[in-house]
Structure formats: C-alpha cells, structure tokens
Structure 1
Amino acid sequence: MSSTVPARSDPPWLDRVRDRLTARLESGSDRPLALALSGGGDSLALLAVACGWARDNGRRVLALTVDHGLVPDSARWTAFARDAARRAGADWQGLSWVGRKPDTGLPAAARAARHRLIAEAARQAGARVILFAHTAGDVAEGERMRAEGSSLGRLRDWSPSPAWPEGRGLMLLRPMLDVARAELRDWLSQKGADWIDDPANTDPKYARSRARASLAANAPYSSPATAGASGPLPAPVAPGTLAFDRGISTRALAAVLVCAGGGDRPPRGDRLERIVQRLRSGEAFTASLSGARVIAGDQVLVTREAGEFTRRPRPPLPLPPGIETVWDGRWAITAVEPGWNVVAAAGHMATLSRDDRARLNALPAPVRGAWPVLIRNDPGAPVLAGSVATARSLVEERLALALDRMTHETELEPRAHGATPRNHLFSGADIDE
C-alpha cells in the first residue's frame, strides 16, 4: 500500500500579494512590468510571485539588477540575479552605477543611484510600474531609524518613483509590506530556491543594519501614522502654480512644495511645520522652502521661487530637437528644430516680443520670473514656447501621483500628442491623510 505526501498549501501571505498585484496592475497589457531584482531573498520571492501573476494575466516581467560596484562579489551577484530571472521566465537587464562613490552617506547615495538607474531603464522599456520587494522588516527598520533621528521617508505600497525627473510618470508598487522576511525565506526554502545574503545587511557601521539587528525577526507591520488634516485638493492658477486651503495637511503641503519647486527632496522638519502653523493661524506671509514660494493672503498660492534664478543664475539648457528635455524639474520641453536653449524668464522679460510679454503678463506676477523662455544659440530675441517647441508643466501630474490620485496602472497612460489628459488632480475630491 503506497502513501502520498499531502501537498503543501500556499502560505496566507501569497494570496494577499497576488490580490494586490491584481488590484493595481493591468491585465493583457503589452507594457512590461518592471521589477527591482537584487538577488536577495525578498526580491527573489517577489520575482517568483510576479512571474506567476504575469503568466496568468498576459504580462511580461522585466527584472532590473543594479551592480553598485561596491564589493568584489558584485559581478557574481549580478550574474546570479540574471540567471534567476531567466529561470523564472522574466526578461532581464543589468545596470551599473559608475563613477566616483562618495566618502560619506554611501547608503543614501547608493539608494538614489539605484532608483535613478531603474527608473531610466523602466521608462526606456515602456513600463509604468516598478515592483519593489520591501517587507515588514523594512517598515520596522525605517521606523526605528526615524526614532533615532533619521530623515528617511516612510514606505508606502503605492507611491511615485523618488527619482526625479528620471522617474516621472512611474509608480512603485510594494505588495509585501505586511510579510516578514522569515516567511519569504521559508517559502523559498520549501521550493528549493537559493538567494544571496549581502554582508552589508549585518555590518554595524550602517544604520539600517543596526536597526535590523535590534528588531525581532518577525517584526509586525503597522501602517505608519500620519499627521495633519485633510482639505480640498489644490486648484490650478497657472501651469505649475497652485492655490489651496489653509487646512491642507502636512503631507499634502510637502508634496505641493517639492512638486512646485521642481526638486527631488520633500521638505521635512521644523520649517515645514512652521509654515503649517502659520497657515492655520490665518497669518498673511510669504515664505520659501524646497525651491517653492508660499504666498499666503486671501488665498494661498505656491509657485516656483523665481528669486533663485537671479541669485544663482544657471546656464541655458540645450534642447535637442525631437527629444523631450526636462527643465528645472517642472517643464517637459520638446523643440521642433535645432539651435534652441531654455532659460528662466527672469532677466529676459524686457526683450520678449510685445505679444509674448502680453502672454507672460497675463500670469500672476510671482509666476513670471520662473517661466521658461527659449533663446537661440545665435543672437536673437527670446521667445515663449509655441511654434518652435511644445512645453508642458510636469507639476500637476507629479502632484497627482504623490497625492494618490492615480491608483491603478491604467490611469498612468502616456499623454497622446495633442490630447487633453485626464485631470486626476483637480477632481474636487478631498485629500485623505
């Protein structure tokens, strides 16, 4: 009489992760689903789940591995990730962080480089969503690091790429934030899979390694607490310039400031809280933060701080014809012919044509100096983008992503030439913290 070994049932977390992929991602799309693959246990588990989901839903997965060049084994680890991706049925691309590495702040610099390289490759491949394998352990470690004074941002399951402008239009999906690392490794072990253990994860000279060592292996996941009140969504005053209610939440104000300022580091700390307090008090004031100017009077406006262009003049940015070029982190400009550069209007307004001056003067006064104007390589008067180039503000779409106005991959469709995009940001809904 023969006996059979009962089949192992799937762990409970597996269905949760699959359900999150289904809730956020499009089925049957010809766009690849990008996935950050380090070769560690977390990313290999996500690779296996994502490839299974993709097969069932008519998608293909593009695994992206960054070789930071920081350890002698990095090339071997990259080859390991490549082979694992191909065995799982994914396409694979290797990326390298080249150039001089900083003497201080190496983990943050490596993280930024990784996001930038992955975002560039994902955009080039046509992806709109990148999967990251952060777990409950990453959430708990981040909370511990913040408690010890770190300014590290909180992980969310669905959030914009932090690489700017390389990650414009890209969302990150982290479907395993409530899964413990031990659960993932148990599952991989049952499948007979192997993974890489990076010694840096246990090196006490790094803050994350110290946080990891101080936490229990199965740290429970809890949704990070958020501060501030909700309020009406910002309303457009001019491209890149927003008006909003004084009851705006701290999180929403931080997003407005970084988007309007065109930078890549959201404001945190006392200066941000001070502006929130002044708004709540009803005070009339002007303040600058993160490259943006807050003008609080009868209404509250946020626009680019034009004074930065006169205090720290920048050289003109060349515009290769037919290629979308991001200027000042706020505008995507495509020239239709060679020989054009873009600069801020500050210092050039008097030399614009009468018609262009009239167009610029129709904007609120604080907006004008930071407006893009085009100049030629050869002498000639500057012009506003029109017949010689197309220009669109990136501020509104970026803010819509940051404020969770686009919750599904199908809402991230690229803007067709000449088409009016869906207005996700200015729908009249409320910002919920």
Structure 2
Amino acid sequence: MPLIPPDAAGLEGRVAARLEARLQTDVEHPVALALSGGGDSMALLGVAAAWAKRAGRRLLAITVDHGLNPESADWSRRCEAAARAVGADWVERRWVGGKPVTGLPAAARRARHGLIADAAREAGATVVLFAHTADDIAESDWMRERGSTLGRLREWSPSPAWPEGRGLMLLRPLLDEGREGLRGWLRERGRDWIEDPGNAGFGRGSARRALSLLPVGEGGSRSETDEGRASPGTHDPPPFAQERRRAVGRSIPLPLGEGFEMDRSIHSAELAVMLLCVSGSETPPRGDRLQTLTGRLSAGEDFTATLTGARVEARGATVLIGREAGEMRRHPVADIALQPGMPDIWDGRYEITAREPGWTVTAARGRLNALSKADRAIVNTVPAWARAALPVLIRDGGDAPVLAWRAAEVRALAPHRLSLALAGGLGETTQESDLAGTMHGETPPPDLF
C-alpha cells in the first residue's frame, strides 16, 4: 500500500510526504504527537494517524494539563477520546506545583516541552510531532519585531527542553499550512476542536489580532495559495548555513566530552549552540555579548572569555570551548546519589548510570589530587582549566574519589546535542533513523580506561 494518499495535492498528501521524508516505517517504537485539543493539533492528529496506519507505526498522543483553566480536565478527556477514535495511544502529563506571577506564558511553554519530552522518551519515541502552522510563523515574526526573544520555528529541530529533551527531535509538518485551512479540513469530516480563551491573552494573542487585520496575502501566513499555505521559503535555512556546515565539520570533541576544539570560522549562531552544549545550559547567551565574542574571534585576537557557563580560549588558529569550572564554584552543581541502573543527568552534560549502589556523583573540583595515579593520567588528557569540571564518584562512607567512568556508564551529552541542534538549524534532511547510535565524543576511547 502506498504511504502517500492518492490525493497527493491535498492536505493529507502534503503532510504525509513531509512525514515520509523524516520518519521510519515498520518499526516498533512510536511517533509521539503533542495534542492540545486545538484545531491545529486535532488536524495533525487525524492526518498523522492515517499515515501511521499505512506506515506500520504506533502513534502516541501526549496532552499536557497546565492546570490554568477550570475546564482543562474536560479538555484532556476530549483529547483522549479523539486520540482513541483514530487508533492512537494517549497519555496525559500535568504541570503541578506553584505557577509564576510573571512570565507565565514562557514558564508554561517550558513546562509543556519538558513534560512532553519526558513522556515521549519514556515511551521510546525519538520524534515528537508539533502542529505549528504558517500562522504561528507570522505571529512569531510579529512578536520578534516588537522585542520578543522567541526562537524561529523550523520543520526539524531538537527539543528545546534540556535535559528532558535529550535525543529528541521535533517535527512540524504543518508549517506550510494555514490555520483556517486546517479547520476547514476538520469541518468537512465533522470533527470539532477546543478554542482556548487563553490564546486571546499575552503576546501571541496580540499578534493574532493584529495579523487578522491585514489584507489576505500579507503577514506571511494569509496567502492566496491552497488552504492558506504560506509562500515558499518562510522556514528556509538561514543564509549562513553553508558557512556553519563548513565550520562544524572542523569541530573536534575534547577527551571525555569536555568540550570542542575548532578554528575561528564560526558564526555567532553556531557559537551560541556550542556554548549551550558544553555548559549543559538551556538559556542562550545575550546577543550583544555573543556578537562581541564572535567579533574577537574573527579579528584573530588571542583571549580567554566566559559566557553562559562556558569558557572560550582562543590561541592562534585554535579555539577551545568547554565548561568553565569557575562557574561551578559560583553556581554549585548539586551532587546526585545514583541508583543502580537508573540514568541521572549531572550538570546537564553527562548521563551517568551506576552499576552498583552506594555512589554519589560530584565535581572533581578540589578532589583532583586525591585521584589515583591512573585516573590522574586520564584527567591530564583534558585541558587543565577543564579538569575540575569532570564528574567523579564518591563511595558512601568514604572520601576517595574515582573518575565516574570507573564505576558507572557515562555518556557525554554535548556531542550528540550539538549534532542534533545543527541538523535542525541547517535544515538538513536528516531522518529519524539518524538519531540512533553513538556519536564520536560521547564516550571516551576504550584505551583510556
């Protein structure tokens, strides 16, 4: 049976082609889908469920109850019914605890991505479908023009939640589709959706109202093409993509995953991604400081600088980027008591799984001289300034540290995180099948241990 419907020019055919370009067929692990119950996600649910049946895939719909509306429990029930009706599995996650008085939309968005990522990874999914549309692109552009720091929507990008979203890619197959076209598709099939009154508030509601006043064809999302699709190019890769591809091809992971070595031909957007990866952070650097740093690199200046918890050391043609151990003193990283067989994320940079009970992971800072001679020899393969940021294990009831790799399975997250971030940012046609396997730099060479 063909995977793309006979009506390839219609909505189902267009979206199926985008799913087909990225996703695997006839595999056991599911494709996840973020289901809010709104018109966009309900339309994506219907189209994705039909594709999944043809492709031999399970579809898992994930609904997040933010607890911000008294009707949210009813909305979850409607989402579950819709998912079950098309043959998809369904799970709910709830945002519990106190809610911030200010910055609520950003906090809710962060919580939603984190909860969806946790549920997807728990189910074994590596790709989550999101129902962003051409209208969302236009609204985000409108908000950025007025000072918003929202990122750009791309068809294929890593989960923004860190570390919950490690290894997960987001696929947005509706970015060329308009919101009204999707609702028309639902009406034709007698399907309903939820209208969240919260969408009328905050910045996105203002953008939506402003764009609704524009003549058809303006605003980046109300074009006259079929079903309200945006004009081609609304989510093309940035013009510096080729420069980034060349620069990234020359990056070399440092031993034990402590950072990267590369040359000075790095764009500011690429540098920002590297800084996040090596520091384990999810908060991007300030634009002005990033531009200053990039300018110093381009000018050939020799210097050492710290930004976003990362250290940049430029000497001659070589640039080393790694975790700044001094930042760990100013902002201590919590020790973690490891449970055997249960992966834990330490400092946002390492996934550590203990083989036996009784171990706690902590920073090597202040403990380097207490390591064994063999461990010190391995530590010395890392630049001196990065050594204090390595993870070591302390046995319960003792104080003699060992390198974490000695008594646990350790995976450095920066190389894989960088690879996924670049694949999304460059718009490369990587696929779900490319997400498996170990990247160079994730684990140390066997001869080190």
TM-score normalized by the length of structure 2: 0.88
Residue in structure 1 matching 2:434, options 397, 403, 411: 411
Q: Distance in 1 between matches of 2:331 and 2:161?
A: 24
Q: Higher mean Cα deviation, 107-116 or 345-354?
A: 345-354
**Cα distance, 1:179 vs structure 2:** 0.6
Structure 1 equivalent of residue 274 of structure 2: 256
Q: Distance in 2 between matches of 1:296 and 1:380?
A: 36
1:114 matched to 2:112? The reply is yes
Map Cα deviations across residues 224-246 of structure 1 (whole Å, 9 max, x no partner). 67365433212123213101221
Distance in structure 1 (CA, Å) of the matches to 2:69 and 2:95:
12
Question: Does residue 347 in structure 1 map to residue 366 in structure 2?
Answer: yes
1:297 matched to 2:315: yes
- Asked whether the equivalents of residues 154 and 224 of structure 1 are also in contact (C-alpha less than 8 Å), the reply is no
Q: Which has the higher helix share?
A: 2
Residue-by-residue CA offset, 1:78-130 (whole Å, 9 max, x unaligned) = 11111011111101111111111110111111111111111001101011100
* Distance in 1 between residues matched to 2:286 and 2:360, nearest whole Å: 34
Q: In structure 2, what residue type is equivalent to 1:398?
A: R
Match of 2:247 among 207, 221, 232: 232
Number of aligned residue pairs: give it: 410
Letter in structure 2 aligned against 1:117: L
Q: Distance in 2 between matches of 1:153 and 1:312?
A: 26
Q: CA deviation at 1:363?
A: 1.6
Aligned ranges for residues 130-145 of structure 1 at < 5 Å?
Answer: 130-145=128-143
Tell me the secondary structure at the aligned position of residue 152 of structure 2.
coil
Which amino acid in the other structure matches residue 272 of structure 2? Answer: A
Structure 1 residues 84-99: aligned runs within 5 Å: 84-99=82-97
Distance (whole Å) between structure 1 residues aligned to residue 328 and residue 95 of structure 2? 31
Amino acid at match of 2:254: V
Equivalent residues of 2:310, 2:321 under 8 A apart: yes
Give the % identical residues: 52
Question: Aligned equivalents of 2:338 and 2:148: distance in 1?
Answer: 39
Q: Which residue does the alignment assign to 1:377?
A: 396
Instruction: For 2:239 and 2:304, locate their aligned partners in 1 and report how far apart those are by CA, in whole Å.
Output: 23
SS in structure 1 of the partner of residue 284 of structure 2: coil
1:227 and 1:250 in contact (8 A); partners too: no
Q: Distance in 2 between matches of 1:9 and 1:53?
A: 13
Give the AA of the match of 1:394. Answer: L
Q: Specify the SS of the correspondent of 1:296.
A: strand
Matched, 1:78 2:76: yes
Counterpart in the other structure of 2:187: 189
Of stretches 395-404 and 319-328 in structure 1, the one that deviates more from structure 2 is 319-328
Q: Does 1:242 align with 2:254?
A: no
Is the Cα–Cα contact under 8 Å of residues 227 and 251 in structure 1 kept in the other structure? no
**Are 1:211 and 2:189 counterparts?**
no
The C-alpha deviation readout for 1:299-331, integer Å capped at 9, x for no partner, is 011000110122233442111111111110111
Q: Runs of 5+ in structure 1 lacking a partner?
A: 1-7, 416-420, 426-433
Partner residue, 1:22 = 20
Greater than 4 Å deviation, 4+ residue runs: 8-11, 422-425
Deviation at 1:422, TM superposition (A): 5.0
Q: Give the aligned residue type for 1:215.
A: L
Mapped partners of 1:315, 1:253: distance in 2? 27
User: For residue 232 of structure 1, what is the amino acid of its counterpart?
Assistant: A
Instruction: Compute the TM-score of the two structures, normalised by the length of structure 1.
Output: 0.91
CA RMSD for the aligned pairs?
A: 1.9
- Superimposed CA distance per residue, residues 245-271 of structure 1 (whole angstroms, 9 cap, x where no aligned partner): 212122211111100110112224111
CA contact 1:400–1:406 (8 Å) conserved in 2? no
Instruction: Specify whether residues 353 and 337 from structure 1 end up closer, same or farther in structure 2 by C-alpha distance, changes over 3 A only.
Output: same
2:325 to 306, 309, 315: 306
Alpha-carbon contact 2:361-2:391 (below 8 Å) kept: yes
* Contact 2:258–2:390 (CA under 8 A) maintained in structure 1: no
Q: 1:145 to 1:91 in 2, by over 3 A?
A: same
Q: Which amino acid aligns with 2:432?
A: E
Q: Flag structure 2 segments of 5+ consecutive residues without an equivalent.
A: 1-5, 223-229, 443-449
Name the SS of the counterpart of 2:410 in structure 1: strand
**Secondary structure of the structure 2 residue equivalent to 1:369:** helix
Q: CA shift at 1:184, angstroms?
A: 0.3
